[in-house]
Structure formats: structure tokens, C-alpha cells
Structure 1
């Protein structure tokens, strides 16, 4: 079926609408970061950079780590941006821009998020590098996509719904990390359920001046336990990445540099080093 021009917007130069990338600009291994300034902090470790492009908050560098071709791309903050980035990444590798039809042979990308996060468990220290075993979305993104759960996801989701069921107007969704990436890139890291919030302040239990509608949100989160599964950290992209990767047939892993402890009220004294450690670890394992 031919995809309408209004559904898949291609720029006059043949690039995809928001990312400003051409088919062929994207490697099979993609590292996503939230901050556009962090793209260069990743690509400085490349042995060779062949491409640098940018538009809005979406900055892309593609190059080589040894003989492996790698793309690093900034998404900006939040799952609304993940919706744009993942649909356009998928279009770049799986849609023929000339015919506007889905290709017969599909490409499955390996997508690794390297981002920052705050822990909600007292035994996880600031400075930890944590791999998300599951992404639990508290945002509304997956209300707009058909998203089928596996048996393990469904069982865990039932327990999560029971735990959070009293919260009004929140319809959480859950997706597991890709097993292969979790056991290779994420090996020897802390693992746990990562909550993806639709904001940084009240949606993550913070209070500055505006009053929170969910009191003791952090205590509610860190008290969840189901067959040794527990919620370990909070951020703003992982659940959308996992869910859309699964829907589109890609492999995804979220690697979190823990910069804050929400239970000990601590923040890293050297956040740049924690992020750099996470970047170097991921690149070495790729």
C-alpha cells in the first residue's frame, strides 16, 4: 500500500521530515541520547565520523567504532519526541521513499538509549549504570498504538495495575527490553523496571510550588515488588522506546546513568563522569 504524502513527509532533498536524514545515513546500531550536546560526547570516541547532520533538537553523527558502523542521535526530552524519532528511523530503513511502500525485506535496528535517571531504591547508589529490564510508561503514547503483551509482560502488568490501580486517569503500559541486548550490552549492570514519566516535576514526585495530586509518589513506586521484579528508577523516554521498538520490529535497550537518589535526596557531584562512563561502557560492548 502506498503511504500518503501527508502521513510520511519527505523534504525536497529526499530526507525524512524532522530528522533531516536520507536513507543510508543510519547505521544498524543506533545510540540515542536526549541532549543534543551529548551527541558529540559519544562520537568523539568514534574512530571515524562520516556524517554530521542536524535539525531542531535532532542531531545525528554516523561513523565507525572499529569496523562497526554506529549512529548517535539526539531525541530531545520525552516520549512525544520518541514517537517522531522511532517512526522516522524505521521509515529510513524500512520504507522505499521512491515508491512510498514498505520494503519486502525489513531491517531490525539495534537501538541503545544512553540517558540520565534518578533511582528510587536506597541500595542503588548515585553513579550506578543501570539497564532497564522493563519500561513502564505513565504517559499516554501507547494509547494511540496497538501494543500486544507477551505472557511475562501481561503477568507483571497485572501486578502493576493492582499496585497503581487507585491512581485516576493513568493507563500504564509495559514492555520488556530485548533479551539479547540486555544480556550483552547490559550484562553485569544493575537491572530493574524503569518508570517513564510524562514530565520532570510532579509526574516524578517532585514538588516546587505547584501541589502534587499524588502524595508519597516515590514511596508508592519503590514499594512495588512482584517475583523479585522491582521499580528501580525514573526518567522520561525508556517505555516509549521499548514499546515502539517492539511495535516496529527493532531491538532496544535503555542504559541509565544514575545521577540522583530520590530517597536519599542526593545528586551526583560529578554527573559528567557518570554519563561518560555509561557512554564508554556501551561503545566498548557494541
Structure 2
């Protein structure tokens, strides 16, 4: 008999919905678009031909509908890999655990997940406005290290090469980063020929972890310089954001497909930023919703 999940581990609300998202199993589509900002959920859903549910709980907002015959769920995650841990585990539970018996289903569903977000460009060829699809993600967050099977799905040679290049050890910065591949078929379909493909670093914060210094000095003042100069098998680190590693890593461990597509709103090399990006990100939304 399949494993039983106790009420303390799988928390189900009185209405039969999952604890944080407040979504019920029948409200989840196989195709899922993730965004950080709950305000961006209705922007994505405005493209839908029909809508069947609109659920808000804390920073998590979920709308499921159809677009050109495809059933799609769009979910806001908030910021950071810690929130991705909540969203991914709850989406997987909705897909693959029977809420009545509290046991894993005999037939498992594989979800297709694409995160649409914003990022900081780290190369001269990723100026403001560039769309980047993450081929690999580097997790400075440490989240995947808490899950069994981490080494089986991670790119261990790249991890060693990056750590050697950065020269971090002990408690300096992120001494145990993990590197995870996005799903290759999903990359080919979503990135097509009009997105830059590269390595994305998912950071545990917006300021120090991304090399921004305000009043507190950085532990490694050369952090960004080292990251920008790293190259591995023809790939460079193209951008910073805060969620892609946990998304790709948990998806691999759970048997789902995932990748992240971001629009560059600040280029760290050029020192440029565009705070009015919200008017332009709809072009990226349109590409993803057509290709998912």
C-alpha cells in the first residue's frame, strides 16, 4: 500500500483545499505558469478564453482557465525559493496525492511548469529588455540540499568548477551551491529561437546575495566579477533572480517538467535599469502562453 501522509505533514483545509494555496485538486491544470507578483496573475489570465476559478490566499493567487483549447493554471508564488518550496510541494500534492485516503496515487501526473519573471542581466549581450530562458540554475539558496536525491539530479562537475572559480569556503557567501538543469524539451519549445539561453543564479536575497552594497559591505566584493567571468562548456552565467533553482530542482525530484523565462530589467554590467518594465513583460507572457 502506498505511503500514508499524516495530517501534520499534508495539511488539508476543511473545504478540501491545500493549506497555503487554498486550491482543490480538481482546480489544477497540467500546464502551470508561475509568477511572483499576485498582481500579475490576472494579467496572465486576461489572455484566457475562459476562467473557472480565481482563488487568493496570502501572496498566493491562482486562476485556472483555458487558452486556445489548453487548460492552464497561473499561480503567484511571492518572492524567493522558500515560497517555491511551498508552492511546488502543494501543487505536487494536488496532482499526485489522494486527499481522501491521504496516500500517493497509483497513476502519477507530470506537470509542465514555466516561471515568468524579471531578472538582472550579467553579460553585455543581455541588455535591459532581453528575454532569458534558464538552461541551468545555480542555487545559492541551499533548499535542494534538504531533499534526498539531490546529487542524483544535480550537475556535480559544474558545481565543483563554479565553487573552485568563486573560491568560497566555510561560511563565506554560499559554500554549497547546487546546479540543476531545466527540462530540455521544455527549453526547446519555450525558448525557441528568440530567447537567450544561459545559466541563471538564484540568490537568497536581492541586495548582498546579488552583489548590491548599500550600508553593509559585502563579504566578497569581487562576487559579481567572478560570476560574470565564469564559463563552462560554452555556457556563461547570464542572469540573477531568486526562484529558478528550487523550481527546476524540485520539479526534477518530483517528476515534473520546469524552466524559467525572465525579462532583464537591470543590467549589472552596464549599470542600467528599467523600473517601468511592467508595460513590456506582456510580450514575454504572450510567448510563454502560446508555447506552453
Normalised-by-shorter TM-score class: over 0.9
Q: Within the alignment, does 1:277 sit opposite 2:279 as a pair?
A: no
Q: Describe the superposition over 1:187-211 as per-residue Cα deviations: whole angstroms up to 9, x where unpaired.
A: 1110000000000000100011122
Describe how 1:1-286 pairs up with structure 2 within 5 A.
Answer: 1-149=3-151, 153-169=155-171, 170=174, 171-188=176-193, 189-268=195-274, 270-286=276-292
5+ long unaligned stretches in structure 1: none
1:206 and 1:172 mapped to 2: Cα distance?
A: 19
1:259–1:274 contact (8 Å) kept in structure 2? no
Q: Describe the superposition over 1:19-66 as per-residue Cα deviations: whole angstroms up to 9, x where unpaired.
A: 001011110000000000000110001111111001000000000001
2:18–2:94 contact (8 Å) kept in structure 1? yes
2:154–2:178 contact (8 Å) kept in structure 1? no
- The Cα shift of 1:168 comes to 3.5
- The Cα shift of 1:104 comes to 0.7
1:4 and 1:84 mapped to 2: Cα distance?
A: 17
- The Cα shift of 1:167 comes to 4.3
- The Cα shift of 1:270 comes to 3.7
2:156 and 2:223 mapped to 1: Cα distance?
A: 23
Q: What root-mean-square deviation, in Å, do the aligned CA atoms of Structure 1 and Structure 2 show?
A: 1.4
1:164 and 1:29 mapped to 2: Cα distance?
A: 37
1:197 and 1:166 mapped to 2: Cα distance?
A: 15
Q: Describe the superposition over 1:224-248 as per-residue Cα deviations: whole angstroms up to 9, x where unpaired.
A: 0111111000010000100011111
- The Cα shift of 1:166 comes to 2.5
Aligned positions, number: 286
5+ long unaligned stretches in structure 2: none
1:44 and 1:167 mapped to 2: Cα distance?
A: 47
**Runs of 4 or more above 6 Å deviation:** none
- The Cα shift of 1:283 comes to 1.0
